């Protein structure tokens, strides 16, 4: 799964980690009550269930309520598969590797740091699910009925079966062992743990050939989790049966990672309880159903409906099962490589009227599949690969095996109206999700504590494939500027967490889908790959995938494969990087002809204590400038301090190409020298140098004046990615001191002088020869110039805005400059500009239009416009985009405090609106409150949340607290120094 938002940290004390199902308790649920007995040839009876809101029915019951003898009939068993389809042929062979899960009771690592897992009882092991969904309501409550028949082994004799179920009601169940049928006697629900217990009147014997059949009911929710519905406004008339929700039409799809398969059907919802899946669904005749596998058959059902069945999946985890129903159309291409003797079909599905915008993604997907099949030496395992654009989506995309789902902006691109920067995003996201078809799907982490095996690898190899397809994009410098720097930001705080993190319960896992699992994970993989060499590294990876195909694996399994391929002890090298929090700063001391290096844990708050600094990392120093060595010297720091002799005093550079995940702190004189030698540095080294200088300034390990002097040397820079890092580092200073008008104005003058030559050189008019990086650089320079007060740029942006919205010249706003022009117009405009752009948000047909306009609208400067924006943002804007509004207001010094006041005054309705999906709520809180630089504000936030139930976003609050403390300390320490430097250089 791709969490596409750059800043996704959330952490708190891991010893107190606990998240119960507060979400489930708050979300809409229904208890389905039926009283009919079984009827001939009808599963579980034939009368319709009556939906009754759970909150209404359950008030008098305990959290674990019991339904006894529900839908039982003394005449005998009443479970038959829907439409008289056989339950399952017990002798049906499944060619996949048999599942041999690692012990589920404790973590594989014997390290005492890992806590016992709260997992399902080790009594039943599923091998196949036969799932049928039917009687789907196309409106109203959007309820549905289902039956699932689970082929399983019974490991221990039992009368109780415990499995996962959330917001579902089980109405009947039975065990079938050979010819014997045992009907259930009662059901109990443990809502906080999202479990159901099915009790039987006699013992279920130990067997390898049991069938557990369950009838259940559920709701197609609007929470972007489980089986859910997405609203959209179709550009063309949809099929007649497409349901409406308010004034929007809807499509149906699933999102099961990490633990929401249980929200769609009863199952054993843990990653190492792999099984195969057979799936069928009843849908309207004029709609399309998709799932992981190709369609097997279609047959008629009730008038106007059909039943679509799909081929059996490979053995896989429950979170990878997927289906979708809607008014879909597709475009198709094929791989050049042959799979089982023929090219693989690759399709991108959209709702009707949008398929042409899927071409860019389709251009990439077949190439990526072929490339991964080649470098992993394992063919893509499924008979098809579908990509689906989903209109409402929590994350960026989800790697469901054979049916990858995407947020529309991560898969659709309109050559006429889209911003070119989205090409970069789509290429990477497509590669990331297809990488998961091997990393995560073919081989799955044993438990959520090793999530990084899925996400860290998919991130690294996603960038790797993008670099292969687009070598002119400078992909790895982009990774350093965006990926590594984001990981550094979170991991520099005490409230970060190790890459491999204890997860007691699957319900805890959503908070670790963050920049540690994704970006630190991929950064240390990149570091290791650089050390071993790409060929050796990929050989080890291939061996790992082959050894654990169709099964589960651990970090130790990966290290073993890489150790065998490289003949090195990878476990010893990588153990601290994976299982310890934080990363080092390497501090350099110079003497003639040699340098001293020492490593200490880096903390962005600048207050590391001895107990914080108890880790010694393996640090590959990557030294350029060792006497007598033309290439990079392969030297590693394996103790706290060491001396490197025979260095070149005139020029040396550590961590060449910024492959190591650490900061480098040079003496001030060396930093100044490197600033004059930037022509000798690669793009990656420039980005790393500026990023390190900026972070070390904030922590107090170096001086902000050193950073300012360093960046003065970049005025002639021409690369977009280097400028991104320069402006990001300077932007951090601006943000911390945004409420000090003298410093703020001085920094604006400094930035305008710095970027002025590039602004003048690029101008406003695009050239046919511009590449994607030049296009992005022009937009970046115009935006930065406008926001820092460049009068000519402001005037031109306002002129173009007026021409466009007056209808005089629709070409006045280049799609690639929309964000800059809109943002500048709102920043220096008033109510008329706001209303124009709000109308644009409402009517835009561009797939990226709503994101761009929503961010631009957040540039408002007055209390009146703030009120208009916030009422609009949290009333009209889709829940999936709430974080965009939050971020826009929090980075704006004029609205930051107003947003905090709004959250306090409207906390309960905001919580109700956004917390049906805790990922949304966590992201909203984190991005709303992480920009303050005043310890008083940090204390105020802590006091406000002290009496709140913060399960599910407690880590976000811990990160917010740490971040504010660090920024406040920086502000207190360097405020005077920065002002003096600005004054001395005539900027203030």
Give the residue ranges of the annotated binding site. Answer: 432, 436, 455
Going by DSSP bridges, is the β-strand pair 323-326/248-255 parallel, antiparallel, or unpaired?
antiparallel
Which residue spans within 114-225 are E strands per DSSP? 124-134, 143-154, 158-164, 169-177, 180-183, 186-190, 195-204, 207-219
As a whole number of angstroms, the distance between CA 556 and CA 255 comes to 29
Query: Residues forming the annotated binding site for Zn(2+)?
Result: 432, 436, 455
Q: Which residues contact 599 (CB under 8 A, 6 or more apart)?
A: 584, 585, 586, 587, 616, 617, 619, 637, 640, 641, 662
As a whole number of angstroms, the distance between CA 545 and CA 556 comes to 13
Helix axes 818-827, 831-843, angle to 10 degrees: 150
Say if residues 613 and 601 touch (Cβ distance below 8 Å).
Answer: yes
Q: Which two tokens stand for residue 597?
A: 């290096």
Q: Tokens 């802590």 — which residue?
A: 942
As a whole number of angstroms, the distance between CA 322 and CA 441 comes to 13
Nearest to 527 by CA among 355, 656, 391: 656
Q: Which two tokens stand for residue 120?
A: 């399902």
Query: Rounded to the nearest 5 degrees, what angle is found at the Cα of 551, between the Cα atoms of 579 and 401?
Result: 100
Say if residues 238 and 352 touch (Cβ distance below 8 Å).
Answer: yes
Beta-carbon neighbour count of residue 145 at 10 Å? 22
Nearest to 456 by CA among 395, 398, 514, 537: 514
Nearest to 577 by CA among 629, 527, 513: 527
Exposure pattern of 955-987 as b/e (b: 16+ CB <10 Å)?
bbbbbbbbbbbbbbbbbebbbeebbebbeebeb
Nearest to 425 by CA among 463, 457, 398, 389: 463
Give the residue ranges of DSSP H helices in 737-845. Answer: 741-762, 772-787, 791-805, 818-827, 831-843
Give the residue ranges of DSSP H helices in 168-222. Answer: none
Say if residues 26 and 912 touch (Cβ distance below 8 Å).
Answer: yes
DSSP string for residues in 902-959: HHHHTHHHHHHHHTTSHHHHHHHHHHHHTT---HHHHHHHHHHHTTS--TTTHHHHHH
Nearest to 921 by CA among 515, 510, 508, 506: 510
DSSP SS3 for 432: helix
| Active-site option among 433, 482, 717, 796 | 433
Q: Which two tokens stand for residue 349?
A: 């599905």
As a whole number of angstroms, the distance between CA 529 and CA 562 comes to 10
As a whole number of angstroms, the distance between CA 959 and CA 927 comes to 11
Going by DSSP bridges, is the β-strand pair 295-300/305-310 parallel, antiparallel, or unpaired?
antiparallel
Beta-carbon neighbour count of residue 643 at 10 Å? 12
DSSP SS3 for 64: coil
Q: Is 631 known to be catalytic? A: no
Q: Which two tokens stand for residue 492?
A: 């520099």
Instruction: Show which residues are catalytic.
Output: 433
């Amino acid at each position: 799964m791709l969490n596409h938002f750059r800043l996704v940290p959330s952490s708190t004390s891991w010893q107190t980690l606990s998240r119960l199902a507060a979400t489930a308790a708050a979300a809409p649920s229904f208890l389905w009550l039926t009283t009919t007995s079984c009827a001939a040839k009808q599963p579980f009876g034939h009368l319709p269930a009556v939906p009754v809101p759970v909150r209404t029915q359950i008030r008098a019951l305990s959290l674990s309520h019991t339904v006894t003898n529900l839908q039982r009939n003394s005449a005998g068993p009443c479970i038959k598969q829907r439409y008289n389809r056989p339950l399952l042929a017990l002798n049906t062979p499944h060619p996949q590797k048999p599942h041999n899960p690692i012990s589920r009771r404790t973590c594989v690592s014997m390290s005492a740091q890992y806590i016992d897992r709260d997992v399902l009882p080790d009594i039943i092991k599923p091998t196949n699910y036969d799932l049928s969904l039917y009687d789907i309501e196309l409106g109203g409550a959007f309820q549905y009925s289902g039956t699932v028949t689970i082929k399983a082994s019974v490991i221990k004799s039992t009368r109780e079966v415990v499995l996962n179920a959330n917001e579902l009601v089980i109405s009947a169940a039975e065990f079938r062992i050979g010819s014997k049928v045992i009907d259930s006697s009662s059901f109990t629900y443990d809502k906080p743990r999202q479990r159901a217990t099915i009790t039987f009147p006699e013992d279920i014997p130990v067997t390898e050939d049991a069938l557990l059949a369950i009838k259940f009911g559920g709701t197609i929710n609007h929470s972007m989790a489980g089986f859910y519905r997405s609203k959209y406004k179709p550009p063309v008339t949809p099929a007649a049966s497409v349901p409406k929700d308010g004034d929007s039409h809807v499509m149906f799809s699933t999102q099961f990672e990490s633990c929401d398969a249980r929200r769609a059907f009863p199952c054993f919802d843990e990653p190492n309880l792999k099984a195969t899946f057979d799936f069928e669904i009843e849908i309207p005749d004029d709609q399309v159903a998709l799932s992981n596998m190709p369609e097997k058959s279609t047959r008629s059902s009730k008038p106007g409906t059909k039943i679509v069945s799909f081929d059996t999946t490979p053995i896989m985890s429950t979170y990878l099962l997927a289906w979708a129903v809607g008014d879909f159309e597709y475009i198709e291409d094929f791989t050049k490589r042959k799979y089982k003797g023929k090219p693989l079909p690759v399709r991108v599905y959209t709702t009707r009227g949008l398929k042409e915008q899927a071409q860019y993604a389709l251009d990439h997907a077949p190439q990526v599949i072929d490339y991964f099949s080649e470098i992993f030496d394992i063919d893509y395992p499924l008979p098809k690969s579908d990509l689906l654009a989903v209109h409402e989506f929590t994350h960026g995309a989800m790697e469901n095996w054979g049916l990858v789902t995407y947020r529309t902006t991560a898969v659709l691109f309109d050559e006429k109206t889209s911003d070119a920067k989205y090409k970069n995003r789509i290429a990477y996201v497509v590669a990331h999700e297809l990488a998961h078809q091997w990393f995560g799907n073919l081989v799955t982490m044993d438990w959520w504590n090793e999530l990084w095996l899925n996400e860290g690898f998919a991130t690294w190899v996603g960038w790797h494939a993008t670099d292969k397809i687009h070598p002119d994009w400078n992909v790895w410098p982009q990774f350093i500027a965006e990926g590594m720097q984001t990981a550094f930001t979170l991991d520099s705080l005490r409230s970060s967490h190790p890459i491999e993190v204890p997860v007691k319960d699957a319900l805890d896992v959503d908070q670790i889908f963050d920049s540690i699992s994704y970006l630190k994970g991929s950064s240390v993989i990149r570091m290791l790959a650089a050390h071993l060499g790409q060929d050796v590294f990929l050989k080890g990876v291939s061996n790992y995938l082959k050894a654990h195909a169709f099964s589960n694996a651990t970090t130790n399994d990966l290290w073993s494969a890489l150790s065998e391929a490289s003949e090195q002890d990878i476990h010893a090298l990588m153990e601290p990087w994976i299982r310890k929090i934080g990363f080092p700063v390497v501090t350099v001391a110079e003497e003639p002809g040699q340098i001293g290096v020492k490593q200490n844990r880096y903390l962005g708050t600048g207050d590391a204590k001895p107990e914080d600094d108890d880790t010694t990392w393996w640090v590959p120093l990557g030294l350029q400038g060792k006497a007598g060595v033309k290439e990079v010297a392969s030297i590693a720091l394996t103790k706290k301090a060491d001396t490197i002799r025979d260095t070149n005093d005139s020029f040396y550079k550590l961590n060449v190409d910024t492959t190591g995940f650490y900061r480098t702190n040079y003496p001030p004189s060396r930093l100044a020298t490197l600033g004059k030698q930037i022509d000798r540095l690669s793009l990656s080294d420039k980005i790393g140098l500026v990023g390190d200088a900026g972070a070390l300034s904030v922590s107090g390990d170096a001086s902000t004046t050193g950073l300012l002097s360093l960046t003065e040397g970049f005025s002639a820079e021409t690369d977009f990615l280097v400028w991104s890092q320069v402006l990001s580092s300077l932007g951090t200073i601006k943000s911390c001191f945004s409420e000090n008008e003298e410093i703020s104005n001085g920094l604006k003058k400094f930035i305008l002088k710095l970027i002025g030559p590039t602004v003048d050189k690029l101008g406003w008019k695009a050239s046919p020869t511009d590449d994607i990086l030049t296009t992005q650089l022009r937009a970046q320079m115009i935006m930065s110039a406008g926001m820092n007060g460049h009068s000519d740029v402001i005037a031109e942006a306002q002129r173009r805005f007026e021409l466009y919205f007056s209808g005089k010249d629709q070409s006045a706003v280049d799609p690639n400059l929309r964000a800059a022009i809109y943002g500048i117009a709102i920043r220096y405009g008033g109510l008329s500009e706001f209303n124009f752009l709000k109308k644009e948000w409402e009517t835009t047909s561009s797939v990226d239009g709503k994101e761009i306009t929503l961010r631009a609208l957040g540039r408002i400067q007055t209390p009146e416009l703030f009120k208009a924006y916030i009422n609009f943002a949290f009333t009209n804007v889709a829940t999936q985009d709430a974080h965009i509004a939050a971020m826009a207001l929090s980075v704006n010094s004029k609205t930051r405090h107003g947003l905090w006041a709004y959250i306090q005054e409207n906390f309960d309705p905001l919580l109700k609106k956004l917390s049906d999906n805790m990922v949304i709520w966590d992201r909203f809180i984190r991005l709303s409150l992480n920009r303050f630089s005043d310890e008083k504000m940090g204390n105020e936030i802590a006091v406000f949340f002290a009496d709140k139930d913060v399960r599910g976003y407690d880590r976000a609050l811990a990160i917010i607290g740490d971040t504010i403390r660090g920024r406040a300390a920086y502000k207190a320490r360097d405020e005077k120094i920065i002002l003096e430097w600005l004054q001395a250089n005539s900027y203030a």
